[in-house]
């Protein structure tokens, strides 16, 4: 074998070995349980009446529940930028489904019962809509683009309507899989892709859940950070 050929082969093997070591040493991102099933540790609350958090949000039998009044939101003490978020939620079987939402990249102090953020909608019948409030950005399929002007509390905001309906009946647990990767947002509900958007502002912010009119329940809330 010629010296140059031998040298090239040796270098190739060395690169492969080094790459293998890096791959073997790479750690998978750790999944974070945002809700421990027992308490409201790690969470804060905003509501328009400034009530204590425990009067609006409570934990019973491993389930996080809000009474839905007054309007506001529960939010994490920690901030997150790009991640996969898994949320199990349901409407209680004995009440009329109303409204709520998963708030992403909360960016500022409250303006009303909301703040600057992007919402993965939980409103009954509209689960999977995406909305951007108070200067937040999100865009998507022009045929499903939506604009609201002059809302009494929220002013002007815009979003992207869901592709399809995959919400389960009250009493059954829904699984929301939310992937927020840089400027791109994808929503999967009960295994079915229901919406996507892009052009989101890339920043770190808390994650929140809305109190917006009626009871809703959550249990498994897990976040896996994505490499940035």
The answer to whether the beta carbons of residues 208 and 117 sit under 8 Å apart is yes
Burial track 14-43 (b if 16+ CB lie within 10 A, e otherwise): eeeeeeeeeeeeeeeeeebebbeeeebeeb
pLDDT of residue 108: 84
Instruction: Please state which CATH class domain 33-225 belongs to.
Output: mainly beta
d(C-alpha 36, C-alpha 40), whole Å:
8
> Per DSSP, what are the bridge partners of residue 57?
66
110 burial level (CB within 10 Å; 0-12, 13-18, 19+): middle
The domain ranges of the chain are 33-225
Q: In a structure prediction context, what are the per-residue pLDDT tens digits for the chain, which is 228 residues long?
A: 554 444 444 445 444 444 454 444 557 779 999 999 999 999 999 999 999 999 999 999 999 999 999 999 999 999 999 999 999 999 999 899 999 999 999 998 899 999 999 999 999 999 999 999 999 999 999 999 999 999 998 999 999 999 999 999 999 999 999 999 999 999 999 999 999 999 999 999 999 999 999 999 999 999 999 975
d(C-alpha 125, C-alpha 165), whole Å:
8
Question: What's the CA angle centered on 57, arms 153 and 192, to 5 degrees?
Answer: 75
The answer to whether the beta carbons of residues 162 and 127 sit under 8 Å apart is yes
């Amino acid at each position: 074998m010629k010296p140059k050929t031998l040298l090239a082969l040796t270098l190739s093997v060395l690169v492969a070995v080094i790459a293998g070591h890096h791959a073997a040493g790479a750690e998978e991102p750790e999944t974070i349980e945002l809700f421990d099933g027992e308490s409201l540790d790690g969470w804060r609350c905003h509501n328009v009446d400034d009530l204590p958090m425990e009067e609006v949000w409570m934990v019973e039998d491993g389930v996080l529940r809000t009474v839905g009044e007054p309007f506001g939101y529960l939010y994490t003490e920690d901030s997150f930028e790009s991640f996969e978020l898994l949320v199990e939620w349901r409407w209680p079987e004995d009440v009329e489904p109303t409204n709520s939402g998963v708030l992403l990249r909360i960016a500022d102090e409250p303006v009303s019962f909301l703040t600057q953020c992007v919402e993965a909608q939980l409103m009954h019948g509209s689960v999977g809509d995406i909305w951007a409030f108070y200067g937040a950005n999100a865009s998507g399929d022009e045929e499903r683009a939506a604009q609201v002007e002059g809302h009494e509390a929220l002013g002007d905001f815009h979003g992207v309507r869901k592709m399809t309906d995959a919400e389960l009946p009250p009493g059954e647990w829904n699984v929301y899989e939310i992937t927020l990767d840089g400027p791109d947002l994808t929503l999967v509900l009960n295994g079915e892709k229901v919406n996507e958007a892009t052009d989101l502002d890339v920043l770190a912010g808390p994650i929140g859940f809305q109190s917006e009119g009626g009871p809703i329940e959550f249990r498994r809330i897990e976040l896996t950070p994505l490499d940035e």
